[in-house]
Amino acid sequence: MSLAECTIIDLPKIVDSRGNLTFIEANEHVPFEIKRVYYLYDVPGGAVRGGHAHRELKQFIIAAMGSFDVILDDGFERKRYHLNRSYYGLYIPRMVWRELDNFSSGSVSLCLVSELFDENDYIRDYERFKRIANKQALEDGRQSSDQNIVGQ
């Protein structure tokens, strides 16, 4: 998959003097059926989370509280997103490497995903990920050589 498919998605925001409300509906506000929800919290200063890609899983990440950065890599380029509001999130399709860092104190990363947990869906070795991404890109006609692979 390409980083062009990764996008910030605005969520509905109902403003009320008693407190704002944002909601998310599967296949309406995120482009997949939500099968699992998890969140990261109490992340120590300087820690990095993620460090993997998924073969099939699609993900939507929201900064429910505080802020953090998401670094995405499709094997050809890298892009950093800063998430700091609870009324938008970052959509990440399958086969995109992700890392989360720069967590503010008290931040909460809310993750909505398209699949139940399956260890076999994870690619945890970056060099292996690049090889798989390059092979898929060649099959798709997106890249004729590995010259532009990040880190080579």
* Element spanning 109, H or E: strand 108-113
Buried b (16+ CB within 10 A) or exposed e, 81-103: bebebbeebbbbbbbbbbbbbbb
Q: Determine whether 52 is an active site residue.
A: yes
Class (C level, CATH) for 3-140? mainly beta
Among residues 29, 52, 54, 82, the one annotated as catalytic is: 52
Q: What is the pLDDT of residue 138?
A: 84
Residues 96-149 have pLDDT tens digits of 999 999 999 999 999 999 999 999 999 999 999 999 999 988 887 765 444 333
46 Cα distance to chain centroid: 19
Domain limits, the chain: 3-140
Q: What is the pLDDT of residue 56?
A: 97
Q: What is the pLDDT of residue 148?
A: 37
From CA 80, how far away is CA 101, in angstroms rounded? Answer: 10
Q: What is the pLDDT of residue 55?
A: 97
